[in-house]
Amino acid sequence: MLSMITDNLTTFLATWIVLTLIFALVYKWWRKPHRNFPPGPIGVPLLGVLPYFGENPEQNIRKWSEEQYGPVMSIRMGLEDVVVLNSVDAIMQAFVKQGSQFSGRPSSGAFQLLDMQDGGLSFKPYTSDYKHQKKFVLKTFRE
């Protein structure tokens, strides 16, 4: 009798844990990285929108941009969220008018595996320290 109760309790707990993990993974997949993130297609878990690209991914992205999401949209490629700029105005706004906000490097899992603590020179955050180091390196190479 006691073993039957413990078996039922063990089965219930295991089922509850599995369902909780599945719910957490689905929630993590469907949510955007932050509140102001641009809209875009979600895609398939683990693959993102990669199965929908076909032979000409740029045409599919342009079609999504024109028909549904606008000139600034996001797409999920694999496990990474990517922001896509699809108009000259959006590109000018991002890289010319707000250049200091868009001039940093994205954090990537591959570079985190390399364990570069300060980011080296190539992957350092765009700060005044970075500007001084870049200026020094360029001046040194010129000489």
Tens of pLDDT, residue by residue over 90-138, are 999 988 888 777 776 666 666 666 655 555 666 666 777 778 888 898 8
Backbone φ and ψ of 112, nearest 5°: -70, -30
SS3 assignment, position 42 = coil
Average pLDDT score over the chain: 81
Return the closest-CA partner of residue 84 out of 60, 112, 101, 52. 60
Lowest-pLDDT range, 35-44, 45-54, 91-100, 114-123? Answer: 114-123
Percent of the chain whose pLDDT exceeds 70: 83
Specify the pLDDT at position 115.
Answer: 54
Let me know: does 81 contact 33? Beta carbons within 8 Å. Answer: yes
Specify the pLDDT at position 69.
Answer: 92
Question: Could you tell me the pTM of the whole model?
Answer: 0.63
Specify the pLDDT at position 18.
Answer: 92
CA distances from 114 to 15, 54, 108, 133 (A): 38, 32, 10, 21
